[in-house]
Structure 1
Amino acid sequence: MHERRQPVVQKINYTQLRTLGETSAASSLRIDGEQLTVTGRDGSISQAVVTNEAAQQEIIAVFAKSNVPVEFSSLQPSPLTLAMNWLIPILTLAAFGFIGWRIYASMGGRGSNFTLVDGNGRQNVNFGDVAGVDEAKKELEETIEFLRDPVTFGRLGGRAPRGILLSGPPGTGKTMLARAAANEAHVPFLSVSGSSFQEKFAGLGAARVRRLFAEARKLSPCVIFIDEIDALGRQRGRGNDSASADQDQTLNQLLV
């Protein structure tokens, strides 16, 4: 019993390949990417590498003119190619999801930048704990009375002030005074920093203002304390860049 010997593959150049097609010495031509395989009428196998697409078309025309069948093999993608075809869409969706999550978090979804109470000090603070600002405490008493009984003042035509500005150097007790006023009036205390309204994403400042006041309406009556409001309440129209436009939009939303 004799084993069938595999024919030896002969490497040829472009000129030799073209000659095989012109002399009708080939029985078939198989194209596998850049590799062209010729099976001779005598059973021999010759291979040539043709990288130029135009040169391949010329070879195909020569073999077709000699009535030699031309076959094209379907290239099977490598495992790496298959993996990339799956990974690229998944990574793209993950990137968009991460960006969306960051925007949602910055708008006050997860990781909100304001809370119902100020966590930087004691919560149960009253006017007796605040010293050195007697004049400011006296001016706040009428507002506190209105917050305690808004119905009675409303029947008399009274309205709560739109806002009270507490000014003074750092460390003089402005935050404690605001917290004490809310505690004396027995109303919730919303505290937020003015700098937290400024973000790298355009439009988030105005969105945070809307969310803050939406929360305040749910808890009405309540006290909103904006620390460092000068970071937010600056003069409008100071510049023509996008950052200035976003700051103006945030300030306009606050003043509505």
Structure 2
Amino acid sequence: MGDNRVPGPLSLEGNAAENWKMFFQEFEIYLISSEKSEKKDEVKIALLLHCGGRELLDIFNTLPIEEDDKKDYKKLIAGLNVHFEPKTSVTHERYLFNTRVQQRDESFDSFVTDLRKRAKNCSFGTLRDELIRDRIICGIFDENLRGRLLRLGESTLEEVMKQCRINEVSEDHMKELTAAANPKTHSVRAKPKPNQDVQLSGPRGSEDKPICKFCGYRHVRRRSLCPAADKECLMCGRRGHFQSRCTYKGTRIHQYHERNIWHTYREDDEPSGSDEELEKSSGSECKSQ
């Protein structure tokens, strides 16, 4: 059976306990597929150390068991399992369990599955299901659902899980119906004020964008992205910046409203004379425009 893949070598990087568990499972499959599972213990041990590599051989040489036990395949494996068994703190595991809460976008099944995994290391005994039920009620994201679960009284884990799944399905259906009923609904955003952190590109709220000297907003340093790129300044009449950012010290444009007519003039052409003359000149200017 030369085509069988030989497992290994054993890696001690990362989670050594999980690495050993996976390596030994692959090794057992290798023994069966290559018809070596019925070989003598010394042959299987030699194969184990050969496949495991230098890391496993070093552990074998320093393993604190009797030398005769190192020649017995089952006893050797038992000793290696004890060596790789993770050292856990029940107090720490219970802390992780009791502080676990459902995240906003996390499904209920994902939340419960993680609670079950954590409960395995907490030594809850016969109280396991009750404590998982309590953690679901305390850690569920939906506060309205939590209130309904508390009103159930002395409920079982299965009953609580059933209610949570029904609620999740109902919420999904409501979202689908809302999206179907309002396909063209768009959110309306308030117009930002100058010097506010407006992001025309990039992550929202980022502080690494400079304040644009033309519009007063924060955005990528690119002229085409500036809101004032094609706007006419109401102060100087030039394009490319807002009035609030105008630094032009020359002739300025002024506007005023009189007798239902908007009058426009430059600072160096400030009108003089009577109101009648001004009205005539302004009216003719508006008509010509």
Which of the five TM-score ranges fits, normalised by the shorter chain?
under 0.3
- TM-score (ref. length: structure 1): 0.17
Bigger relative CO (Cα 8 Å, ≥ 6 apart): 1
Higher share of residues assigned strand? 1
What TM-score results when the alignment is normalised by the length of structure 2? 0.16
